Structure 1
């Protein structure tokens, strides 16, 4: 069963400073990870960097990262950067 983590607030430099310990803990764990981004309204390069960090760490240990609930700017950015493979089935536009 994947670990579900609700992310809230902007995923910008300040938000990622707050989320860094959470992402490090998730990367050090043993479960697949699903991030619920339904309460995230904005993602910048810091947020994308955090997602890529987590994805690479999980992938290295044969685990998966999934995103769900992304909408608006975060969803458009994920699609634009071709990270849409991370989006759970049924949530793609």
Structure 2
């Protein structure tokens, strides 16, 4: 799991996940997620799932953790480019009812 930060605008941050967001991937990303939460300079955080092929409960936990911590700080988060198994999991768990999700239609 690789997590890349793209500062697209002064107050907008894109986080690009690359790899499986499973127990191992979530553990690797945790430090960077905590850094994003601690840095108040980006009011809007967009999580890009274009390169995520697999999502499990640990990954869901990491995404929900990030969302809740940002929400506590009056910041916004949305998820984009979700496809395949990660989209199925997010839909099944109704994550889209709390976090805005833009999926890719094939």
Q: Is 1:79 the equivalent of 2:91? A: yes
Secondary structure, aligned partner of 2:49: strand
As a proportion of its length, which structure holds more strand?
2
Shift of 1:92: 7.2
The correspondence for 2:21, drawn from 2, 8, 11, is 11
How far did residue 2 of structure 1 move? 1.9
Normalised to the residue count of structure 1, the TM-score between the two structures is 0.89
Max Rg structure: 2
Higher relative contact order (CA 8 A, sep 6+): 1
Q: For residue 27 of structure 1, report the CA deviation from its aligned partner.
A: 1.0
Deviation at 1:86, TM superposition (A): 2.3
Are residues 92 and 37 of structure 1, via their aligned partners in 2, closer, same or farther at CA, if it must alter by over 3 Å?
A: closer
Between the two proteins, the alignment pairs up a number of residues equal to 91
Q: Structure 2: where are the runs of 5+ without partners?
A: 1-10
The two structures have a TM-score, normalised by structure 2, of 0.79
Q: 1:59 aligns with which of 65, 71, 80?
A: 71
Moved more, 36-45 or 73-82: 73-82
